[in-house]
């Protein structure tokens, strides 16, 4: 059972501050949503989070979860991530290092990575164009190790005469 308010003191304080600024009330439901979110180190859609919160309190509605996620994003506790399937995911933002993502278009596996060199090159590129970057997200779409191996098997099994067209998840 998740006990709101016992942990994540700093995050909770940030959230309360934001709630106050937005002229909203503190509610136990919002605090529960924040706690469940903070406990989950993953890329969550609003629906994913809704199901996790449901386990703790079936009275929390989907709209409340959605709105609270927006509040968390505005408060700097969550950030939106697009993984290429057209849905919006959320991950921790506060106290989390910047990173970018590789996404498998077959199974949805997400690999987080960070490269100082890539970051530097991006800044240099921006500078060349007189562009001031505020934030960025780099997504590399492709096949993870497991799916890549499967792909190899199926293509060698199909005796190679016809070129096969592969349909990939479209970018948005």
Residue 89 CB-half CA count within 13 A: 18
Of residues 45, 94, 109, 139, which one binds Zn ion by CB under 5 A? 109
State the Cα–Cα distance between residues 143 and 168, nearest whole angstrom: 11
Residue 18 contacts residue 71 (beta carbons within 8 Å): yes
State the Cα–Cα distance between residues 9 and 149, nearest whole angstrom: 45
Nearer to Zn ion, 47 or 112 (CB): 112
**Within 48-87, which residues bind Zn ion (CB under 5 A)?**
none
User: Radius of gyration over alpha carbons of the chain, in Å?
Assistant: 20
Two structure tokens written together for 129: 């164009």
| Interface size with Zn ion, residues (CB under 5 A) | 9
Closest CA to 54 of 45, 62, 63, 44: 62
13 binds Zn ion (CB under 5 A): no
106 binds Zn ion (CB under 5 A): yes
Nearer to Zn ion, 57 or 106 (CB): 106
Nearer to Zn ion, 78 or 104 (CB): 104
**Within 134-163, which residues bind Zn ion (CB under 5 A)?**
144, 147
Chain contacts with Zn ion (rule: CB under 5 A): 91, 100, 104, 106-107, 109, 112, 144, 147
């Amino acid at each position: 059972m998740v006990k709101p308010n016992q942990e994540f003191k700093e995050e909770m304080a940030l959230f309360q501050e934001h709630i106050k600024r937005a002229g909203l009330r503190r509610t136990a439901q919002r605090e529960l949503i924040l706690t469940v979110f903070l406990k989950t180190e993953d890329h969550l859609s609003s629906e994913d989070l809704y199901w996790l919160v449901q386990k703790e309190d079936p009275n929390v509605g989907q709209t409340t979860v959605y709105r609270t996620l927006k509040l968390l994003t505005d408060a700097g506790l969550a950030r939106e991530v697009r993984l290429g399937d057209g849905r919006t995911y959320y991950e921790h933002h506060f106290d989390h290092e910047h990173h970018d993502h590789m996404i498998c278009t077959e199974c949805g596996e997400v690999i987080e990575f960070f490269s100082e060199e890539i970051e530097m090159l991006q800044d240099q590129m921006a500078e060349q164009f007189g562009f001031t970057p505020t934030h960025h997200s780099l997504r590399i779409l492709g096949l993870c190790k497991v799916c890549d191996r499967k792909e190899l098997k199926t293509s060698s099994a199909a005796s190679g005469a016809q070129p096969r067209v592969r349909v990939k998840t479209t970018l948005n």
